[in-house]
Chains A and B, each alone.
Chain A
Amino acid sequence: MTDMPSDSHPLQPRSSGNGTDPRKVALRALADQSRPEAPAGPAWDMTDQILVHTSWDAAQKLLDVVLSSNAGGFALRGSKAGDGVKQLKREGFDGVLLIDSESYDEALATEDAPFVLPKDTLYEVTLDEILDGQLTCGATVALTPTGYLRAGDSEALKEAANVVAALGRDDVLFSVPIDIAWLSNDNIDQLIAVLARLEAPKAVFLGGQFDPLDRYRAAVANMRRLVAEAGHVAVLRTDLNGFDALCHGAFATSIGTGGSSRHIIPFGEQRRSSDNKDRSPSVLYPDLMAFFRGSTLAKQFANARAPECTACGGRPLDTFLGKKDATAAHAHGVHTWSDWITGLIGQPTLVDRANWWRNRCDTARAEYDAVNDRLDQPDGFEAPKALRAWAELPPWPSPTEPAWRRSHTR
């Protein structure tokens, strides 16, 4: 196995102390950059792009929306992803295309088998061949079929990173499907240390029921550390967290269309839902900067006029009530967040982005009280913990550490 370079990224956790600490210097330098550090190779095309993460079936219905938006392309998931990418390329789609094989749903990553490779085949299929297959379909870069990484399974994580380093390819995106507990204070340092040693770009997926970021108080702050310090990190299959990541050093992100495309489920667990019978899609409420079930919006606005989405031709937000409204809800979501991209990209530096994002989140958080007052329901809508963290944490991490690591961790 080839040794990975031990000093590939200056933000890798090392000594702290004096003002010449390379980590501090690098964090300051990152703040002044106009955009995130771009990875080498074809992944360079993904820099500062927000992709739509969805299935091929859903993507076909959203194609026009995506083409007319600021979204950077598709991350297609599931068994038809390869066919979808092929077809899009045939039709001349020139945006970014990724194939998310969802291998994290198939197996745990272990030290012996960090990647999920086909077993019941006549001939052994290698990791290289799997990756080549994605590129042949037309993917911009190939995502590794990494198994699910449970918290603390560090030998599996290290082995996966070692194998990717040994591949020596620049057309590979190392898929890192982690349990959200990797973002706890106990585990984050090692996650950063392992990923920072790897020069190849990485794509982090967050695993957990409901909103994974809600599970740990330190998760948002540590997510920011991860994208700033681990070098060339994208955050895929997420929600508005993708914006937060792009403001703090991530080079790309993908936002899921439906709830199931905005996070992954820990291996071996069934997806949990607050109401299994509710078929209404999740709808992005722009002013509250959060996704709510269509049925929830209808209930809350039963006696009041619901806000209308200007991007969707004035459709009221309380009208997404059944499965048939899913595509419209997805389109509304993409329209809405892609409109925000101009504001994000338009900031002169990353620290300006971070301030811009914090202000947006702060305004949204305040809007919860205003909406609840209008509805005369003090507990009508509750701001997600992640949104509160985006609004309350210092917009740019202090390299001298305290507020950065302590906020929301006690």
Chain B
Amino acid sequence: MSEQAIGVAQPRMLVLARESRAMTQGQLAKAMQALEGSDGKVSQGYVSRAEAGRLTVNGERLELYARALHYPPQLLCLSEHEVGAGPGLVHHRKKQAISAADLRRIHALLNLTRIQLRALLDGVARPPGIGIPHIPVDAYDTPEEAARRLRAEWGIPKGPIDSVVRVVEDAGALVACRELVPPVPLDSGGASVPVDAVSGCPPGEDSVVLLNAGTPGDRQRFTLAHELGHMVMHPVPHPEQEKQANRFAAELLMPAQQIRDQLLGQIDVRLLLELKGEWKVSMWALLRRANTLGITSDWQYRSLAVEMSSLGYRTSEPGELEPEMPTAVTSLVNQLLQQGHNVEELASATYLHTDEFIGLYLSHPINPGVGLPSRSVASTNREAAT
């Protein structure tokens, strides 16, 4: 591929691509050195200068850079205009502290996913979502009221929400699963997922939610409701935003008016497990809800929490729920394939190598007979425009 066809790497993209691969500048330099062979002279200083824009990366060096990062060179050359403003205000729901490097990687993944989805959306006429309203909250108007208002405005039927993913996608947001951070092994033999999700609301674009692969179903649903809370309540950061998003999610998934009567009486592990199956939320979320609604005292809450901890429910609850599967992005890809694009084209359009595109976007069965005729995304865009 010629230099002119690809262009010159953009410093911002070099950083984004490297961080998405969880590589340090030194590690990237070593990878490039290894690919270049014994004659190679790539140092960490080179990577640093390239990312700072103090030297030009093009031609063979650009190819080398891209190979080391396992991205097509075109990704590294995307201009500010092509990338857009970025993911906007980013929220992440985390269970435990994570390193700054992990956080940078997660943000990079979110931004790259946004870029990929932008490219895919360019190829189809997607019906507009019902839209995510902004509902401001403060001490007087609470997150619980925002959740009740949203349920009413969106016509969500009383009782447990069947699919939180569908609610979020129907609103116009795009949900995808990614391995944000690998599970952390625990002494108990289980594993804990440090980050459940990250979301971004890019200005003028559809909101994007990345769910961490491996998050249990109950936690995943609460996480999605939590991220929806951010989209509804937090166009700008707020010091209490994580608590507010949790309160929003609790009311959205377990409306006080509807769940209170079921929590009255003797609350024990058996009841919580039963309600978990019905409301599709964790036993911990139900216990916390009972406390917030004044059904259990702090002391009853603590006593039951101790019992549940001793049973190992902190890391693994009984009554496992199947994680919900996002469908909007899969439908989008299928639609493009049905329009006649092939996988290689879609991979190219999303600045991914084909193998990675398949892993990220085609892990679900593809409808038979699609993807055979070749037709470029760009030509579809032109047709749609006319």
Task: Give chain A's interface residue range (CB within 8 Å of chain B).
Answer: 20 to 34
Name the residue on B nearest A178 (C-beta): B294
Name the residue on A nearest B246 (C-beta): A186
Question: Is there a chain B Cβ closer than 8 Å to A153's Cβ?
Answer: yes
In the complex the two chains form, is A214's CB within 8 Å of B297's CB? yes
B residues 278-294 touching A (CB-CB < 8 Å): 291-294
Q: Which of A192-200, A274-282, A310-318 contacts B (4 or more CB under 8 A)?
A: A192-200
Question: Is there a chain B Cβ closer than 8 Å to A405's Cβ?
Answer: no
* Pair count A-B, CB < 8 A: 52
Question: Is there a chain B Cβ closer than 8 Å to A152's Cβ?
Answer: yes
Q: Which residues of B contact A208 (CB under 8 A)?
A: 294
CA distance in complex: A184, B291 (Å)? 9
CA distance in complex: A196, B256 (Å)? 25
In the complex the two chains form, is A153's CB within 8 Å of B140's CB? no
Question: Is there a chain B Cβ closer than 8 Å to A70's Cβ?
Answer: no
> Which single member of B144, B292, B293 contacts A154 (CB below 8 Å)?
B144
In the complex the two chains form, is A151's CB within 8 Å of B294's CB? yes
In the complex the two chains form, is B138's CB within 8 Å of A193's CB? yes
CA distance in complex: A13, B256 (Å)? 25
B residues 244-302 touching A (CB-CB < 8 Å): 247, 256, 260, 291-294, 297-299
What is the CB-to-nearest-CB distance from B368 to chain A, in angstroms, rounded to a whole number?
51
Task: Give chain B's interface residue range (CB within 8 Å of chain A).
Answer: 10 to 19
CA distance in complex: A339, B297 (Å)? 34
In the complex the two chains form, is B298's CB within 8 Å of A193's CB? no
A residues 188-213 touching B (CB-CB < 8 Å): 189-190, 192-194, 197, 208
> Which single member of B139, B293, B299 contacts A193 (CB below 8 Å)?
B139
Name the residue on B nearest A155 (C-beta): B145
In the complex the two chains form, is B297's CB within 8 Å of A216's CB? yes
Q: Which residues of A contact B247 (CB under 8 A)?
A: 186
Name the residue on B nearest A210 (C-beta): B297
> Which single member of B140, B145, B292, B299 contacts A186 (CB below 8 Å)?
B292
B residues 185-240 touching A (CB-CB < 8 Å): none
Question: Is there a chain A Cβ closer than 8 Å to B142's Cβ?
Answer: yes
Q: Which residues of B contact A152 (CB under 8 A)?
A: 144, 256, 292-293
Assuming the A-B contacts A214-B297, A215-B297, are A190 and B292 also in contact, with contact meaning beta carbons closer than 8 angstroms in the complex?
no
CA distance in complex: A194, B293 (Å)? 18
In the complex the two chains form, is A154's CB within 8 Å of B298's CB? no
CA distance in complex: A78, B144 (Å)? 35
Name the residue on B nearest A16 (C-beta): B239
Q: Which residues of A contact B260 (CB under 8 A)?
A: 150
Question: Is there a chain B Cβ closer than 8 Å to A181's Cβ?
Answer: yes
Question: Is there a chain B Cβ closer than 8 Å to A297's Cβ?
Answer: no
Q: Which residues of B contact A155 (CB under 8 A)?
A: 145, 148
Q: Which residues of B contact A189 (CB under 8 A)?
A: 139
Q: Which residues of A contact B140 (CB under 8 A)?
A: 190, 193-194, 197
> Which single member of A150, A194, A217 contacts B298 (CB below 8 Å)?
A217
Q: Which residues of A contact B297 (CB under 8 A)?
A: 214-216
What is the CB-to-nearest-CB distance from B28 to chain A, in angstroms, rounded to a whole number?
42
Name the residue on B nearest A14 (C-beta): B139
Question: Is there a chain B Cβ closer than 8 Å to A180's Cβ?
Answer: yes
Q: Which residues of B contact A186 (CB under 8 A)?
A: 247, 292
Name the residue on A nearest B243 (C-beta): A186
In the complex the two chains form, is B256's CB within 8 Å of A153's CB? yes
Question: Is there a chain B Cβ closer than 8 Å to A179's Cβ?
Answer: yes
> Which single member of B145, B148, B292, B294 contacts A180 (CB below 8 Å)?
B294
> Which single member of A13, A151, A216 contacts B139 (CB below 8 Å)?
A13
CA distance in complex: A193, B139 (Å)? 6
Known: A153-B256, A180-B294. 20 other contacts (CB 8 A): A13-B139, A150-B256, A151-B293, A151-B294, A152-B256, A181-B293, A181-B294, A184-B291, A186-B247, A186-B292, A193-B140, A194-B140, A197-B140, A214-B299, A215-B294, A215-B297, A215-B298, A216-B297, A216-B298, A217-B298
Closest 5 A/B residue pairs (Cβ): A181-B294, A215-B297, A193-B139, A151-B294, A193-B140
Q: Would you mind naming 12 contact pairs between A and B with Cβ atoms under 8 Å apart?
A: A150-B256, A152-B256, A154-B145, A155-B148, A181-B293, A184-B291, A184-B292, A190-B140, A190-B142, A194-B140, A215-B298, A216-B297
